[in-house]
Amino acid sequence: ACCQMVEALLAVLILICSSVSYGSTGGYTGLPSLGGIYYYQYGGAYSGLSGADGEKAQQLDHHFYLLKLPIARAAMAVGGCLLVLPCILILVGVLRLPWHFPAWLLLECILDIGIAIGIVPALYYFFHFLLGVYNSSVCKEREQLYQSKGYQGFRCSLHGAEIAAGLSGCIAVMAYLLSAGLSVRGYRTVRKLKQKPVEL
């Protein structure tokens, strides 16, 4: 159950971190339009982008957002699926299904191993896709435009939320493998206990 709670927490982190790329259409177009404190704290920094430069920045931000959108949606979908499974397994444990049907623990072991193996190529694809986006001409042109005005927050490199999502995925692999081992151990324990009902 502890492993399953850790898996659920990691899934939440993956979901939150991947939603950062999904929820923002770009620095220039997003923050100044919010007004209030966001305008004065961030909007003033974009005052140098006006006229043709401002329109170009909006277009580049939008294209860059569209480039990252597919992988952001995919990562959020994976995070959501990884969140549902441990919650179901925790509920199954509360209902004591593994005690009544010990074979369930073997099925859980197979699921855990399958998920752990599946996360590895998913992480590769996640970073491969993102690096392709950051190496694209749109990102390079966007970076140069902002740097020409003295803005340094638009580099074509992985940001913290994307790295955190990847690290959460790596930790999730270890958590699922540990959970698989504990499922086998639990299966053996339940079988022994059910064979000696008198000692209970």
DSSP conformation letters of 5-71: HHHHHHHHHHHHHHHHHHH-S-HHHHSGGG-HHHHHHTGGGGTT--THHHHHHHHHHHHHHHHHHHH
The pLDDT of residue 41 is: 41
- Read off the DSSP letter of residue 153: S
Give domain status of residue 31, yes or no.
no
Residues 6+ positions from 84 with CB-CB distance below 8 Å: none
Span of 29-38, 62-71, 78-87, 136-145 with lowest mean pLDDT = 29-38
Give domain status of residue 122, yes or no.
yes
Model confidence pLDDT, tens digit, residues 90-112: 888 777 776 777 788 888 889 99
Residue 175's domain comprises 1-21+49-194
Give domain status of residue 35, yes or no.
no
> The whole model's pTM is what?
0.75
| Higher per-residue confidence, 189 vs 37 | 189
The token pair at 30 is: 């997003």
Give domain status of residue 41, yes or no.
no
Q: What is the mean pLDDT of residues 17-30?
A: 62
Give domain status of residue 29, yes or no.
no
CA distance 57 to 168: 32
The pLDDT of residue 198 is: 54
**Domain count across the chain:** 1
Model confidence pLDDT, tens digit, residues 152-183: 777 888 888 889 999 999 999 999 999 988 88
Give domain status of residue 39, yes or no.
no
Give domain status of residue 55, yes or no.
yes
Helix (H) or strand (E) run with residue 156 in it:
none
Task: Grade residue 24 by pLDDT with cuts at 50, 70 and 90.
Answer: low
Helix (H) or strand (E) run with residue 4 in it:
helix 2-23
Give domain status of residue 1, yes or no.
yes
CA distance 84 to 113: 17
